Amino acid sequence: MNFTPESKVLIQGITEPIGATYAALMKNYGTNVIAGISPGRGGEQVEEIEIFDMVEQAVGHLGAIDTSVIFVPPYDVLDAALEAMAAGIRQIIIVTEGMPPLDMVHLVRQAEATETLIVGPNTPGIIVPGKILLGTHKSDFYTPGSVGLLSRSGTLTYEIAWQLTQAKLGQSIAIGIGSDAIVGSSFAQWLQILDEDEATEAIVLVGEIGGSSEETAAHYIAEAIDKPTIAYVAGRHAPKGKRLGHAGDIMAAQLSVGRTHQVSPVGADPDTAQSKIAAFKAANIPVAQSPSEIPDLVKKALKPSRKKK
């Protein structure tokens, strides 16, 4: 993981309306945005950021690039991500919502082969408060601190960050792993990163109904994570079979019907909030009833570990 103020950042789709908007916000936050990509617009500028037609041209002029943030339309994401990987970029954040599922399967396989970290699609990205913004997080809600925030939900991430900030609990990092049915990085992958991160003292995991990634995470936390972890699951009052997310997510989920049992370590009915909450409780992980309960649970969990210092 390399997310520092010195990290060189590229924006693919910088002339898309959302790309141009967040390029300016990222740059104003202090992110080292060194170039943008927009085929046919090479030589122009957005917010004084130079635009290139291709990623390899940007790398040729500016040297190795650490991270690409992608804002291109859904059916162009696969080509954009493969182009970034071919140019040596090993951290890719896909903000775009509704990437075709088969494109995402192909991208995940290529990422595994090249050891590339993929965050998203349909993600607000990553923020290290006070240091770097990569995506669309509402930066005013965050403050530097020691709580690692890991979430499937974009807007809930902002809300919980604000709850923590108001309780004087700053954040070491916040990651939206993405809300599409198929995403690049998993809860388990990020839990391991945060467990090894010296700036993180406690972890808040925010899940939601649909799929089985929360059950998998609960099992992994019980087996491998040493730092105190607090969980919250959105959608506890939703009817059975309901999914959160946008139309693209729902269509993608329908394509995967019947396969969720293949990845669940705890068995029946992994789509419900009740199943996920039960999995966390079985792993002795405190579960908040609402976002407002999270700060108190974090403070309670941190007390024993801080007393030992």
pLDDT digits (tens, 9 = 90+) for 183-194: 999 999 999 999
Annotated catalytic residues are 246
Helices (H), the chain: 17-29, 55-62, 77-86, 101-114, 154-166, 187-196, 213-224, 247-255, 273-282, 294-307
Per-residue pLDDT at 213 exceeds 90: no
pLDDT of residue 238: 63
pLDDT of residue 264: 37
In sequence order, which residues have a C-beta less than 8 Å from that of residue 271 and are 6 or more positions away? 209, 210, 211, 212, 240, 241, 243, 260
Per-residue pLDDT at 244 exceeds 80: no
Rounded to two decimals, what is the model's pTM? 0.87
- 112 vs 239, which has greater pLDDT? 112
pLDDT of residue 304: 64
pLDDT band, very low/low/confident/very high, at 168 (cuts 50, 70, 90): very high
Per-residue pLDDT at 80 exceeds 90: yes
């990205």: which residue's tokens?
125
pLDDT of residue 155: 85
Domains in the chain, CATH or no CATH each: 1-122 (3.40.50.720), 138-303 (3.40.50.261)
